[in-house]
Amino acid sequence: MIDPQHFIQKLQGKGIQFFTGVPDSTLKELSAYLARTLSSTQHLIAANEGNAIGLAIGHFLAKNTPAAVYMQNSGLGNAVNPLTSLADKAVYGIPMLLIVGWRGEPGKKDEPQHITQGRITPGLLDCLGIPYRVLEDIQTLEVLWPLLQERQPVALLVPVGTFSFYPSSVEKQEVASSLQREEALAVLLEALAQEDCLIATTGKSGRELFELRIRRQETPYDFLTVGGMGHASSIALGVALAMPDRRIVCLDGDGALIMHLGAMGVIGSLRPTNFLHVLLNNYCHESVGGQPTCSASMDFAKISAACGYASYARATSVENLTTAICCLQGKKGPHFLEICLLPGSRPDLGRPTTSPLQNGQQFMKHLQCPGITAIP
């Protein structure tokens, strides 16, 4: 294993003084060290991976030194455009070091949403013309470094378990709330109608929702967006436009919503009256280490209003969550409901026992036959 402190100090010794990216479970030890030792001008958590590439480009233009950009390999999808149309050596020639967590590495067990991405990651880097090496030890940097001097992005592929443990130094946000996410989801399920359709974002929200359905002895027919972080609201909008007579509920997370915030503008411009957008705001990237998002500095009441949502409500307890849901009943949307939450989840929280394909089929069945919900 590689000591994260040794790794970062090695990069700093080579002139990399700015780090940015999107948190990933494979790189959580690296994130922990960066959060503990660097200031906000030296280390910045980006909204999405393309945003991080832009930050690295700006840093190089100002300082003439390369930055390091960390991400999960799924984030390469967000990064392709600025990598090819800006950073590429045929355009502006911007050197940067990509540190890419390799989920779904062939031959290693992983979740279904990572398998294809893991298999194609080396080929994708080849297609982009980005030289890469698998990070095996600290000497791997020496192989890549001369290529970085040629004013181009280069990449390190980081297998799961590469970095040794480093204690998290994430500071907990001061949250004026008494709600845990699973508790809030239970209240929502109790208040929503049987025919309502739920689309849950990536992370632990879907896992908790799945277990709540089992506990309620119902078929887990909600759509669980296990990959594609930030796209749950667009999926929900697509369903809402196609099924105008059904209420569509999007369960979003703060990190996911921020990643593709522009979707709110599209939702507001179309004003689907059957759309309920629920933000489960725990102010952090909980699933990959608890790193903070910037949601604490954002006013979602003003943002949703400016985007064209019909109403906004905020909940911090079971009581005012129940009240907020009741107030929305019978009113035309789109509505935005922000639920402020304490971070954390049960240590014994499981994963869905159905495959994504089975989940999607069950959701489609619910869209057509909303009365069929009891577990056989």
Tens digit of pLDDT for each residue in 103-135? 999 999 999 999 999 999 999 999 999 999 999
pLDDT band at 327 (very low <50, low <70, confident <90, very high): confident
Superfamily of chain region 4-159: Thiamin diphosphate (ThDP)-binding fold, Pyr/PP domains (3.40.50.970)
**Mean predicted confidence (pLDDT) in 257-282:** 98
Q: What is the pLDDT of residue 289?
A: 87
What's the start-to-end Cα distance of the chain, in Å? 48
262-270 and 300-307 are packed helices; what angle lies between their axes, rounded to 10 degrees? 50
pLDDT beyond 90 at 224 = yes
Strands in 153-159's sheet, in edge-to-edge order, are 43-45, 19-21, 67-72, 96-102, 153-159, 132-134
**Mean predicted confidence (pLDDT) in 212-221:** 92
**Mean predicted confidence (pLDDT) in 212-241:** 95
pLDDT band at 373 (very low <50, low <70, confident <90, very high): low
pLDDT beyond 60 at 245 = yes
Task: Output 39 or 370, whichever has higher pLDDT.
Answer: 39
pLDDT beyond 50 at 5 = yes
Identify whether the C-beta of residue 102 lies closer than 8 Å to the C-beta of residue 118.
yes
pLDDT band at 172 (very low <50, low <70, confident <90, very high): low
240: alpha, beta or left? (left if phi > 0; alpha if psi -120 to 50): alpha
**Mean predicted confidence (pLDDT) in 80-90:** 97
**Mean predicted confidence (pLDDT) in 152-164:** 97
**Mean predicted confidence (pLDDT) in 127-152:** 95
**Mean predicted confidence (pLDDT) in 9-19:** 96
Q: Which residue, among 220, 295, 290, has the nearest Cα to 254 in the 3D structure? A: 295
Identify whether the C-beta of residue 253 lies closer than 8 Å to the C-beta of residue 262.
no
pLDDT band at 168 (very low <50, low <70, confident <90, very high): confident
Residue 36 phi, psi (nearest 5)? -75, -30
Q: Which residue, among 173, 177, 176, has the nearest Cα to 317 in the 3D structure? A: 177
**pLDDT tens by residue, 276-288:** 999 999 999 998 9
pLDDT band at 376 (very low <50, low <70, confident <90, very high): very low
Ranges of each domain in the chain: 4-159, 181-368
**Mean predicted confidence (pLDDT) in 263-289:** 96
pLDDT beyond 50 at 270 = yes
**pLDDT tens by residue, 353-363:** 999 999 999 99
Q: What is the pLDDT of residue 176?
A: 75
CATH no., domain 181-368: 3.40.50.970
| Residue 109 CA, distance from chain mean position | 21
pLDDT, averaged across the chain: 94
Same fold, 4-159 and 181-368: yes
